[in-house]
Amino acid sequence: MTKSIAKIKQEFEQAGKEQLLELIAQYETDPRAGVANLIRICRRKEEALEEERQRLDRMKVFEREYEHLGYVCGIDEAGRGPLAGPVVAGAVILPKDCEILYLNDSKQLTAKRREELYDEIQEKAVATGVGMVGPHRIDEINILQATYEAMCEAIGQLSVIPQVLLNDAVTIPQVVIPQVPIIKGDGKSVSIAAASIIAKVTRDRLMVEYDELMPEYGFASHKGYGSAAHIAAIQKYGPSPIHRSTFIKNFVNAV
């Protein structure tokens, strides 16, 4: 009795990589158009998966260059530009053989994909660390210095000591660990990309919590960035306790 296309589709959906190749070989002579379409879809998915693996492999070039030194740690931040909330830094050490599909600059990912990758990074990483500096400290020392502080804190939160840091663009002052600043590193290094996701998701979750406390500002939607709605809320309600005074002085008469 000939198998139904629905049954064959189920076999494809449940198959692992090796089984998929066997199923393609088994059914590629099936004359039915529906089966031929299943095989085409399967091959396209396999091609896309191979392209993704090649992209990730290219993003490991810096990790391979410095892995002889020991643990390689990626460093990145989220929240330098917003008008409210902290700046958050992430530090991530990934295993040498780690594969996390679709890892990329957090800004290139959907919120759903970032959340999924956050969990996978936490599960697979050798170590992760998070540093956070609040708005009052940002006003006191400026955003760049606050970013450095957050990065130092993130490094200090790691459960193992890295031997080299891959940083997104910056060199962190007073850090004795060797550093490699990489321009647009969150799109060139898997470690920095992972750090960018940890920082971004951590900060976004915090801004959602702030939204529950101060819903009039809409923090859950804009995460503290200077959207038109956010600026209008500042002008209507005045600054909140988490606004950066030095960032909003152009939007209010007195801060």
Domain ranges (residues) in the chain: 5-58, 61-205, 209-248
The overall pTM is greater than 0.85: yes
CB 79 within 8 A of CB 203: yes
CB 109 within 8 A of CB 197: yes
CA 31/CA 9 separation, integer angstroms: 15
Residue type, 223: K
Q: What is the mean pLDDT of residues 111-120?
A: 97
pLDDT by residue (tens digit) across 33-67?
888 888 888 888 888 888 999 999 999 999 999 99
Q: What is the pLDDT of residue 112?
A: 96
Q: What is the pLDDT of residue 89?
A: 98
Tokens at 17, concatenated: 């990589």
Q: What is the pLDDT of residue 254?
A: 41
pLDDT > 70? residue 198:
yes
Percent of all residues in the chain with a pLDDT value above 70, rounded to a whole number = 98
Tokens at 98, concatenated: 């780690």
Top-level CATH class of 61-205? alpha beta
Q: What is the pLDDT of residue 171?
A: 97
pLDDT averaged over the chain? Answer: 93
φ and ψ of 162, to 5 deg: -75, 155
Beta strands in the chain (DSSP E): 72-78, 87-93, 127-133, 164-168, 179-182
φ and ψ of 55, to 5 deg: -60, -45
Q: What is the pLDDT of residue 253?
A: 63
Burial class (CB in 10 A: 0-12, 13-18, 19+), 76: buried
φ and ψ of 178, to 5 deg: -55, 140
pLDDT > 90? residue 21:
no
